[in-house]
Chain A
Amino acid sequence: MAYSFSTLIQKRGVLPGFSLTLGFSVLYLCLIVLIPLSATFLKAAPLGFQGFWDVITQPRVLASYRLTFGASLAAATINAFFGLLVAWVLVRYDFFGKKLIDALVDLPFALPTAVAGIALATLYSSKGWVGHLLAHYGIKIAYTPLGVVVALTFIGLPFVVRTIQPILEDFETELEEAAASLGANRWQTFSRVIFPALAPALLTGFALAFARAVGEYGSVIFIAGNIPMVSEITPLLIITKLEQYDYAGATALAVSMLVVSFTLLLTINALQRWAHLRKF
């Protein structure tokens, strides 16, 4: 009896506070997160599948999906490329102000999205510092779908850099030396030895940036121009429907976004497990 009790304790752990902390955590999780989320799904139920389908296939809604997912994909791709480059430069090269730049990479995490939104709109408008240069070449960014891509690139920037950086820092130098001693040139070493090792992290960073971009609101609405069918993102359309007291429509859109978010979350978890396995 005493023996089985002690093995039970050992299995669980001997420290006090298990039921208190787990109980509180689960209760708080239910109250703040799980119940409100489930309530949203239940709220969409009376619509029925047909009603739900009718809402999410309205032309204006479909146009917003195309923009939201298209711009998020473009922004995540830009971030995958430049994020890899920035991580490489930060880990491998020495230059003046490196620590400062490294800390600044997290700015999109720390800067309120509304501030980022008005700053990017001002910077990339046809009168802005960058916008007026591009206007010479007939490129308009602010108040077009391109503006959405710019805002989403900004907010996704840290993800790829921060997932690649630790992998690159821990990368075994011997592997590169071995490749070089076997006659590989620098590009071959990078593309055949270094890049494959970074690929899982790069994909994770890409997925994280994409997932963040799909739901983003604050930084986008100032620069997008928000023209229905052209530059209106799905989160904004949810708010528009709410303001028109179309609660069923807003709920249906929210449910469609939630399904996408959860799918992305599971994909990212799987990617991270894969990246973790590849590391060892």
Chain B
Amino acid sequence: MASTPISASARIQHRVRTEPFWVRMTLLIIAFAFLLGFLLLPLTVVFVQAFSKGWSVYIEALLEPNALLAARLTLLTALIAVPLNLVFGVAAAWSIAKFEFKGKSLLITLIDLPFSVSPVVSGLIYVLMFGLQGWLGPWLQAHDIKLIFAVPGIVLATLFVTFPFVARELIPLMQSQGTEEEEAALVLGASGWQIFWHVTLPNIRWGLLYGVILCNARAMGEFGAVSVVSGHIRGQTNTLPLHVEILYNEYNSAAAFAVASLLASLALVTLALKSFFEWHLKEDATLTETTS
């Protein structure tokens, strides 16, 4: 009997805070239709088209020498760009979150800058630096160094477009954690490295992995910036996304979508890992809240 008033008030609260059934249904259907047309169908189309000519064509498209070389270049680029931006992200977050200094908010804004620049412009700025018509072009040519339309240019453009990912994830996270634990470790005689490895890193690991996985997805998937600096030399300066473009423009749709399905799978794995890391981040956040 005692539960009746509670459930009645809960019912009233529920009625006050939700819409009539038909409104809810209409909103759900509109939202689903939108997500279907803009998310689910484009994703499905990639896999359906990839297998439209059967497994053998699919496998052949992936094992073709140029596809393998493109995959190798994509992996190499990510293998260089992600660790460099990871080191930068950790260093930037450490200085910004653990210390006070003038110009901090300017620094944070500047770190975000690459996100607001068009991918095409991100590539172009390196052409204007290192290309034949660029500032350092004549000098580089005199010393027989080729950066643009070569692998180093691709790495540089990728570094630029993935620049903020780790830093922007770690800065707010480390700011919210403060400096108390690190200071305690310092008092107990730990060195800088020891503090970082044993105190800070365990606290930020999920945020760090979250930034790394997003950074990696962009590094492997970047198209516009890389397209400007690549020169599109098959087997040499072609990454997987550029390979997709070439195949598609040659009307080799099945092969283009086969390679694209590989990149789409990478995106799905990224999303799954991202949700997993996010879940851990939330766990950590609630844990800190309850203990402090």
Contact = CB atoms under 8 A, between A and B. Distances in A.
Interface of A: 11-18, 20-22, 24-26, 28-29, 32-37, 39-40, 42-43, 82, 85-86, 88-89, 92-93, 95, 99, 101, 103-116, 118-120, 122-123, 128-130, 150, 153-154, 157, 173, 176-177, 180-181, 186, 211, 214-218, 222, 235-236, 238-239, 242, 245, 247, 250-251, 254, 257-258, 261-262, 264-265, 269
30 contacts: A14-B183, A15-B186, A15-B195, A17-B94, A17-B196, A21-B91, A32-B163, A36-B129, A37-B125, A40-B125, A42-B135, A86-B31, A88-B31, A104-B40, A106-B271, A110-B217, A111-B263, A113-B241, A114-B241, A114-B244, A114-B245, A118-B46, A122-B45, A154-B39, A186-B20, A238-B120, A239-B120, A239-B227, A251-B124, A258-B117
B223 A113 contact: yes
B264 interface: yes
Contacts of A95: 28
Interface in B103-159: 107, 109-114, 116-121, 124-129, 133-135, 156, 159
B179 interface: yes
B63 to A, nearest CB: 19
Interface in B1-56: 13, 16-20, 23-24, 27-28, 30-31, 34-35, 37-43, 45-46, 49
Contacts of A181: 16
B257 interface: yes
Interface of B: 13, 16-20, 23-24, 27-28, 30-31, 34-35, 37-43, 45-46, 49, 87-88, 90-92, 94-95, 98-101, 107, 109-114, 116-121, 124-129, 133-135, 156, 159-160, 163, 179, 182-183, 186, 191-192, 195-196, 214, 217, 220-224, 227-228, 240-242, 244-245, 248, 253, 256-257, 260, 263-264, 267-268, 270-272, 274-275
A16 to B, nearest CB: 4
Given A112-B267, A254-B125, A118 B257 contact: yes
Contacts of A128: 45
B92 A25 contact: yes
B109 A110 contact: no
B34 A85 contact: yes
B27 A88 contact: yes
A36 B42 contact: no
The majority secondary structure among interface residues of chain A is helix
Contacts of A107: 39, 43, 267, 271
Given A21-B94, A32-B163, A186-B19, A86 B34 contact: yes
Given A104-B35, A119-B45, A242-B124, A215 B119 contact: yes
A12 to B, nearest CB: 6
B221 A177 contact: no
B42 A116 contact: yes
A22 B133 contact: no
B88 A39 contact: no
A106 B124 CA distance: 28
A15 B135 contact: no
Contacts of A13: 98-100, 179
B220 A112 contact: yes
Contacts of A215: 116-121
Nearest to A106: B271
Given A119-B260, A122-B49, A43 B135 contact: yes
A115 B156 CA distance: 22
B224 A43 contact: no
Given A33-B160, A118-B248, A265-B109, A123 B95 contact: no
Contacts of A39: 125, 128-129, 134-135
A11 B263 contact: no
B34 A112 contact: no
Nearest to B257: A118
A242 B228 CA distance: 9
Given A111-B221, A118-B248, A258-B121, A33 B163 contact: yes
A14 B17 CA distance: 49
A269 B217 contact: no
A130 B39 CA distance: 13
Contact of A15 (B160, B182, B260): B182
Given A157-B38, A177-B16, A218 B223 contact: yes
Given A36-B126, A39-B129, A235-B224, A257 B16 contact: no
Nearest to A13: B99
A85 B27 contact: yes
B101 A114 contact: no
A33 B110 contact: yes
Contacts of B159: 32
Contacts of B134: 39, 43
B224 A113 contact: yes
A133 to B, nearest CB: 10
A257 B122 CA distance: 11
Contacts of B125: 36-37, 39-40, 254
